Structure 1
Amino acid sequence: MTTRVPSARRRRGTLMLCAAATMLTLAGCKSGDLVSYDLPAKSSRYTFETKTDDSKTVWEYTSAGATKTDAPKQSPCMGDVLGTNKAACRPEPLIFLRYDLGLALDNTVKAGEQHEIIVTGYYQPRLTEPPRVTSLKAETTFDGGRTWHPAATRATGKNTFTTTVGNPRRDQAAQGVGLRISATDSQGNTVRQTIPTAYTLR
């Protein structure tokens, strides 16, 4: 399971993103989906939220002004492509999460055992100097998100963390196992992603 990257750019106070962006199944921005939001030119703190089905992601990040060097010729700003705006732009420093759930071929995990999940934070490729993900907290739910339980997590590589989930018996998690991941990077940007059902038990 991999989170895809919504198009998020700052253009002289403008954030460009896919209005239909999702955390888990984004196939890309189609024409008509790309919209812009006017932001103050001064560096400020913002919140960006997306939701698809029951999965929800909330980012909090600081957006700084862009310069011409933030838009290399091989990856131009949308305004350059359309010929509507020549101002500088750059991706926003949003933390995205990639999961290795360790699923079997039937997309399930064995019940009643300890199970490891690998979560990796990453950024949009055009971000000139991406921060470093410094901490990650994981929680699990066995009742569709009504109650949450902390899960042990340890750093296992650059921007990579391993979470150990104590799977209950199958009848104790009839709706499957859900995850809530919260991460912070070296610039104070954060993300919280909630997936009420990440996998089911066998």
Structure 2
Amino acid sequence: MTHRTPKEINAMNTPVPTPRHRKGALAAFATAAVFALSGCAAYQLPPEPARYTLETQTNGVKTVWQYTSAQVTKDVAPEQQPCTGEVIGTNHEPCRPEPLIFLRYDLDLALDKTAKAGDTHEITITGYYQQSLTALPKVTTLKAEASFDGGKTWHSAATRAQGRNTFSTKIEHPRRDRAADGVALRITASDSEGNTVKQTLPTAYKLR
């Protein structure tokens, strides 16, 4: 979420409290205390419109967002997800969620969290955003890649739109002995406003 008058405070929801940074000028680290309190992290950005890169890495899962942010003139943060400044009482300026694309996976695994080796396996991936009082972008493209050798080589997987912000992809599994480290996934998505996300899961699931 964002406050600007005259500086911008950028607080973005992320699944876990991890370090993040914007390329080019400013680096900041979100503390666990801030996340526990509000689910957000905050740092200052210039008020001018600009494109930013935000990176997180937790338990080997790396996510890189690229998004455009501009001056906030109207508070569009819903009451259910208030800005950090409102929660701790330090800033009550206009606020909004930044347009970060988050990814939700339905891996369609067996009870032991595995998929069948030597077979075609379909998974579903849905993009979503933090809640906002304004219209949200639409995820328009999604690219899926799989690796069976720990990320040394990547193989493109066919994808198909399944509805708003939702895509299916089919992974062609090798024999189990050719994927000893399991299946890694690398997903890249973009939306109607040019925002992007690239997420790498080093071991999304194992084969049986």
**TM-score range for the pair, normalised by the shorter chain length:** 0.7 to 0.9
Flag the 1:127–1:144 CA change in 2: closer, same or farther, 3 A: farther
Contact 2:118–2:175, Cα closer than 8 Å, also in 1: yes
1:14 aligns with 2:9: yes
Matches within 5 A, 1:1-202: 9-12=1-4, 13-17=8-12, 20-21=17-18, 29-31=35-37, 35-73=41-79, 75-126=81-132, 128-202=134-208
What SS does structure 2 have at the residue aligned with 1:162?
Answer: strand
Flag the 1:126–1:54 CA change in 2: closer, same or farther, 3 A: same
State the shift of 1:132 in Å. 0.3
State the shift of 1:126 in Å. 2.5
Give the AA of the match of 2:103. Answer: L
Flag the 1:36–1:162 CA change in 2: closer, same or farther, 3 A: same
Contact 1:137–1:182, Cα closer than 8 Å, also in 2: yes
Contact 2:38–2:83, Cα closer than 8 Å, also in 1: no
Query: 2: distance between equivalents of 1:79 and 1:20?
Result: 17
Query: 1: distance between equivalents of 2:73 and 2:118?
Result: 53
Unaligned runs of 5+ in 2: 20-31
State the shift of 1:35 in Å. 4.5
Give the AA of the match of 1:14. Answer: I
State the shift of 1:67 in Å. 3.0
What SS does structure 2 have at the residue aligned with 1:71?
Answer: coil
CA RMSD in angstroms comes to: 2.3
State percent identity of aligned pairs: 58
Flag the 1:181–1:125 CA change in 2: closer, same or farther, 3 A: same
- Deviation string 1:157-187 (CA, Å, 9 cap, x unpaired) is 1111110000110000000011000000000
TM-score (norm 1): 0.86
Contact 2:40–2:84, Cα closer than 8 Å, also in 1: no
State the shift of 1:75 in Å. 4.2
What SS does structure 1 have at the residue aligned with 2:36?
Answer: coil
Query: 2: distance between equivalents of 1:119 and 1:33?
Result: 23
Query: 1: distance between equivalents of 2:82 and 2:40?
Result: 15
Flag the 1:32–1:108 CA change in 2: closer, same or farther, 3 A: same
Flag the 1:147–1:105 CA change in 2: closer, same or farther, 3 A: same
Contact 2:55–2:63, Cα closer than 8 Å, also in 1: yes
Give the AA of the match of 1:132. Answer: K
Deviates more, 1:69-78 or 1:93-102: 69-78
Flag the 1:117–1:127 CA change in 2: closer, same or farther, 3 A: farther
State the shift of 1:89 in Å. 1.0
User: What is residue 3 of structure 1 aligned with on the other side?
Assistant: none
Query: 2: distance between equivalents of 1:93 and 1:116?
Result: 28
What SS does structure 2 have at the residue aligned with 1:14?
Answer: strand
- Deviation string 1:90-114 (CA, Å, 9 cap, x unpaired) is 1110000000001000000010000
